[in-house]
Amino acid sequence: MMHKQRQRQAVNALIFLGPACIFLLVLLVAPIIVDLVVAFTDMAQTVRVSEFSNEQFRKIIRPNEDTWLGFELRGSFYRALAKTAIFVVFTLTIFNVTFGLLLALTTTALPDWLGGTFRAIWLLPRMSPSVVYALLWIWVIDPTERGLLNQVLINVFGFGPINLFIDHPMAIIVVANGFIGASIGMLILTSAIRSIPQHLFFAARADGAGPLSIVRHIILPTLRWPLSYITVFQSLALMVSFEYIFLIMGPARSTMTMAMLAYTKTLAPQIGSGQYAYGAAITLILIIIGVIVALLLYRLTNMKRLLAKPRIEVH
């Protein structure tokens, strides 16, 4: 009897976990292994490998005994790393977390029908095709008088036209990606707020607590784990994000993040693509940085406590 029960459990585990394990192996583990191998080759447009070496990493890092670490990053990679950090930090803190939290607090405070309508409207950019969303942004920030922003500045405020592509390129990709990312935070945090027992709000109002006190003492402590999850997940997602950057800005050096640099060196047409080994080396470094960031955030947000086994056992 015990043997049959264990056999049934093994079969159930295979049925439910098998597809997920295959998915992870094929789409996550296998690409990382391929990237690791290609990074130490000289693979180019011919997809032929003549030798294995660390030549690709020498294009990124060069020895320098005058520095504290004994090496320094080459200019293009250093700029890409700095722009990646700026892009991730500002998009995450301003939009994905803070603005997503404000949207969740605002929409849950409104009547259900009005809050639901507002959330549905805010989700339209995410549900729209990426190209359509990018074209709308290009029209809005068009540096000529045809751009929506310049039309407002000229006809309403009497100012001259501005060129955000030149003056504030990083602000463009931060805001464009932030509006998309804030919708995910809004949905997760809205669901978390809806799960708070209503009697806590009734008791707080009965004790004379105002809206700000309720947010501070009831809602925000409850949102600790959802906010931690959003921080970890969105940080990693932003590090490898390049879709909207490429569609809006193209291969501009002013917004060349690490993910964009790897893409332009490998797959982007007519702009230096075909350097598969070099792009694989950049991607491998990005993977290592992502693992380090994930472990640090896992530690700082105390996610281990969230993933711990429940103290109440249910049989």
* Alpha-carbon distances, residue 307 vs 298, 300, 302 (angstroms): 11, 14, 9
How far is the C-alpha of 240 from the C-alpha of 235, rounded, in Å?
9
For the ranges 68-72, 134-138, 144-148, 190-194, which has the lowest average pLDDT? 68-72
Fold classification of 74-306 is MetI-like fold (1.10.3720)
CA quadruple 194, 199, 202, 204: dihedral sign: negative
Note the pTM of the prediction, 2 decimals: 0.87
Nearest to 174 by CA among 151, 132, 144, 141: 141
Q: Is the pLDDT of residue 214 over 80?
A: yes
For the ranges 179-193, 200-214, 228-242, 278-292, which has the lowest average pLDDT? 200-214
How far is the C-alpha of 271 from the C-alpha of 264, rounded, in Å?
7
List the structure tokens of 212.
Answer: 């700000």
CB 43 within 8 A of CB 49: yes
Q: Is the pLDDT of residue 3 over 90?
A: no
> Which residues are registered as beta bridge partners of 62?
72
Mean pLDDT on 304-310: 69
How far is the C-alpha of 128 from the C-alpha of 122, rounded, in Å?
11
3-state SS class at 272: coil
Percent of the chain with pLDDT over 90: 41
The domains of the chain are located at: 1-39, 74-306
Mean pLDDT on 171-194: 93
Residue 96: the pLDDT is: 93
The greatest distance separating any two alpha carbons of the chain, rounded to the nearest whole angstrom, comes to: 84
List the structure tokens of 227.
Answer: 């906010």
Residue 313: the pLDDT is: 56
Nearest to 176 by CA among 299, 98, 87: 87
Higher pLDDT, 315 or 130: 130
Q: Is the pLDDT of residue 1 over 60?
A: no
CB 272 within 8 A of CB 262: no
Mean pLDDT on 235-262: 92
Residue 176: the pLDDT is: 94
Other C-beta atoms lying within 10 Å of the C-beta of residue 274: 16
How many helices, marked H, and strands, marked E, lie in the chain?
19, 2
> Which residues are registered as beta bridge partners of 63?
71
Residue 211: the pLDDT is: 85
Q: Is the pLDDT of residue 155 over 70?
A: yes
Residue 100: the pLDDT is: 93
Q: Is the pLDDT of residue 83 over 80?
A: yes
Q: Phi and psi at residue 179, in whole multiples of 5°?
A: -60, -35
Q: Is the pLDDT of residue 202 over 90?
A: no
Mean pLDDT on 33-59: 85
Q: Is the pLDDT of residue 253 over 60?
A: yes
What value does the mean pLDDT of the chain take?
87
Residue 102: the pLDDT is: 94
**DSSP one-letter string for 273-312:** ---HHHHHHHHHHHHHHHHHHHHHHHHHTTHHHHTSPPSS
Contacts of 105 (CB under 8 A, 6+ apart): 189, 193, 215, 219
Of the pLDDT bands very low, low, confident and very high (cuts 50, 70, 90), residue 177 is: very high
Higher pLDDT, 116 or 10: 116
